Structure 1
């Protein structure tokens, strides 16, 4: 089965996914439970991504973006919300296409086909794995690094990496662990070298976590939360992320 794109699918929708088994891009409806203003304590990151995206749709010099750092701090949600916000001004000319991080083998064909269509496209790849023997990682690097396909005026790459692959590596041999971690860090740096804009996301502390809990409790009208229970929830999850705060509030009965 050859890859192909039906151009008219972009007329009405803004969010799309690539289905590798069918070798096609299809629209997907997104329910926005979180808006741009609801992603807390990442104002600098938020503004950088929004500004770059608006420049892209306005034909002003813009960049590919690598969003890296702590898991659950809103990287993926932020990208989707920025598309929604930008299209308020860009008259729905901006389209996001999500491609799974382990199905990039047809990325060159996808990029070529999209470059022939009169829309702006964000290629979104979530949580790229940084092993040098990963063919998908190498495909992405080669395109972004200097391929003619990577220079398409109507396409930008927004990629996320949680860095958890580095901390989670444990072979049982300390010398091997260090070699693997060194390799992954090196690969992250080699990837950032290919992105003019790379934006870090960092873990919340306890106070910011509790502020986030209170914010979502008010937004979702959940009155039964307590700081003690919220902290117990975060302890079980192992972090103070915004995602953990939202999950705690959604789990309340009222």
Structure 2
């Protein structure tokens, strides 16, 4: 029963990927899929804006809805290497600095879930590697992992994933 439910759910989900440069057509995409009998995830990978870019303002309206209602069957997901999607630099002559900060940070507030990949302690990093590799680490492998993380400059989950990929492919 569970397998058939998964297959039914899979057949109802569609993913559409848009680049940052294509976000202007997001309202048209929503209009095209609004009445379809599917659930849609619209994905934009590695989204970020520079302080002088104004495109984030229109994206805020699209995400929250404006005169036109949001499509009920659409979710918008994005990834970013910046915590707040917009580089944080504030004009020195801003009279109300809080207003400038709120304007810049308000885009990231429209996304309900934020996953951070923060630096782990060495103990946490080794435990994560053991979980990912599904085996206890011997001293030689621990040394390789620490050297790799030092070379990369961090002990975070992304580095752990990269190490595991290279190790499994016998590159390390």
TM-score > 0.5 by shorter chain: yes
**Is 1:132–1:138's contact at 8 Å kept on the other side of the alignment?**
no
Highest RCO, 1 vs 2 (Cα 8 Å, sep ≥ 6) = 1
> Using the alignment, how far apart are the partners of 1:240 and 1:123 within structure 2?
31
**What SS class does the counterpart of residue 226 from structure 1 fall into?**
helix
Give the deviation of 1:149 after TM superposition: 4.6
- Name the counterpart of 1:239: 154
1:116 aligns with 2:35: yes
Bigger share in strand? 1
- Name the counterpart of 2:142: 227
**What SS class does the counterpart of residue 122 from structure 1 fall into?**
strand
For residue 191 of structure 1, the aligned residue among 82, 107, 114 is: 107
1:215 aligns with 2:123: no
Give the deviation of 1:132 after TM superposition: 5.0
Runs of 4+ in structure 1 deviating by more than 3 angstroms, as ranges, are 86-89, 130-133, 182-188, 192-195, 222-225
Aligned length, in residue pairs: 158
1:3-41 deviation per Cα after TM superposition (whole angstroms, max 9, x unaligned): xxxxxxxxxxxxxxxxxxxxxxxxxxxxxxxxxxxxxxx
> Using the alignment, how far apart are the partners of 1:178 and 1:91 within structure 2?
42
Give the deviation of 1:108 after TM superposition: 1.6
Query: 1:9-88 residue pairs with structure 2 within 5 A?
Result: 87=6
Calculate the aligned-residue CA RMSD, in Å: 3.6
1:104-163 deviation per Cα after TM superposition (whole angstroms, max 9, x unaligned): 121121111111322110111223213354354233212113325552111111223332
> Using the alignment, how far apart are the partners of 1:134 and 1:143 within structure 2?
16
> Using the alignment, how far apart are the partners of 2:159 and 2:29 within structure 1?
35
Q: Which residues of structure 2 form unaligned runs of 5+? A: 92-96
Q: Which residues of structure 1 form unaligned runs of 5+? A: 1-85, 170-176
Structure index of larger Rg: 2
**What SS class does the counterpart of residue 201 from structure 1 fall into?**
coil
**TM-score normalized by structure 2?**
0.70
**TM-score normalized by structure 1?**
0.50
